[in-house]
Amino acid sequence: MQNYQKIALIGGVYSNYLALEETLKDARRRGVEAVFCLGDLGAFGPHPNRVCDILRRENIPVVQGNYDNSIGNGLNDCQCGYTDPRDNYFAKLSYDYTFANTADGHKKWMKTLPPEIRLQMGNYRVLLCHGSPRKMNEFLWESTTPTHFLEKLCRDYQADIICATHTGIHWQRELPGGKYFANVGAIGRPENDGKPNVWYTILETAPTPKFTFTPVEYDYQQLAREMRREGLPEEFIETVLSGWWTTCLEILPAKERKRGFL
């Protein structure tokens, strides 16, 4: 197994191919040895094939997200795990659009994606997953996830560093015994803080693990124009333009919801 020192981790892409292009340029400028994607390639944005084209052309290893599992297996919904009927209404619109506009070849590829990727970085065993190692669509928020639970995941899954995405908001925690957990964020949509940029993560392990949450600027006006042309919901377009979430707020814990206003 190859041993890395500096890698880029990309969370939920949500068809934002413009942000993906900028992220890859930025990661290369910063001299990463490899790029990994933690899944959820479709949803939200326009032209879902474009993200798949880029990731496959660049040979970027991808963890299977709940969205990719659904599209790849032809399921009826995205398994996003929302509880609010309004969120599910928009999720369904987005899912039907993505399913109808994803090429069969990409669907077959998504079906083959692994639920986790394991890496060695120095002495650290790194586990990349989508929601959590035990559940593809588990939401692990900073304010509601106890440290002892993250320690248990590291123990149960024999990992020193666990990285996930799925929630769309980045955070990290050092755990007792030299273990780490990080949510690498998402490049598909902004973080509900009134800013249109998105985030990815650089992980370095020498001399000790360090997560650098990295903002990415991209042409969000162009993305919004394309979303409008594709007939995607105005609510999603507003998020791209304003940096504020208009959906999925129900699942966001109070502390994370408040953070964007501080």
Where along the sequence are the contacts to Fe ion (CB under 5 A)?
40, 65-66, 166
Closest CA relative to residue 150, chosen from 183, 186, 185: 183
CB of 121 to Fe ion, least distance (A): 24
CB of 38 to Fe ion, least distance (A): 9
The amino acid sitting at 27 is: A
Closest to Fe ion by CB, 166 or 189: 166
CB of 1 to Fe ion, least distance (A): 27
C-beta separation of 70 from 77 below 8 A? yes
Closest to Fe ion by CB, 32 or 163: 163
Give the count of alpha carbons within 13 A of 255, CB side only.
7
How far is it, in rounded angstroms, from Cα 59 to Cα 82?
31
How far is it, in rounded angstroms, from Cα 167 to Cα 184?
10
Closest to Fe ion by CB, 13 or 32: 13
CB of 67 to Fe ion, least distance (A): 6
Closest CA relative to residue 95, chosen from 110, 79, 108: 79
Angstrom distances, CA of residue 174 to CA of 64, 123, 161, 234: 25, 16, 9, 39
Closest to Fe ion by CB, 188 or 243: 188
Closest to Fe ion by CB, 121 or 140: 140
Going by the DSSP 8-state scheme, the letter that residue 226 receives in this structure is H
Closest to Fe ion by CB, 11 or 196: 11
**H or E stretch at 7:** strand 6-10
CB of 169 to Fe ion, least distance (A): 12
CB of 178 to Fe ion, least distance (A): 28
Angstrom distances, CA of residue 252 to CA of 8, 67, 69, 94, 225: 26, 19, 23, 19, 27
The amino acid sitting at 148 is: H
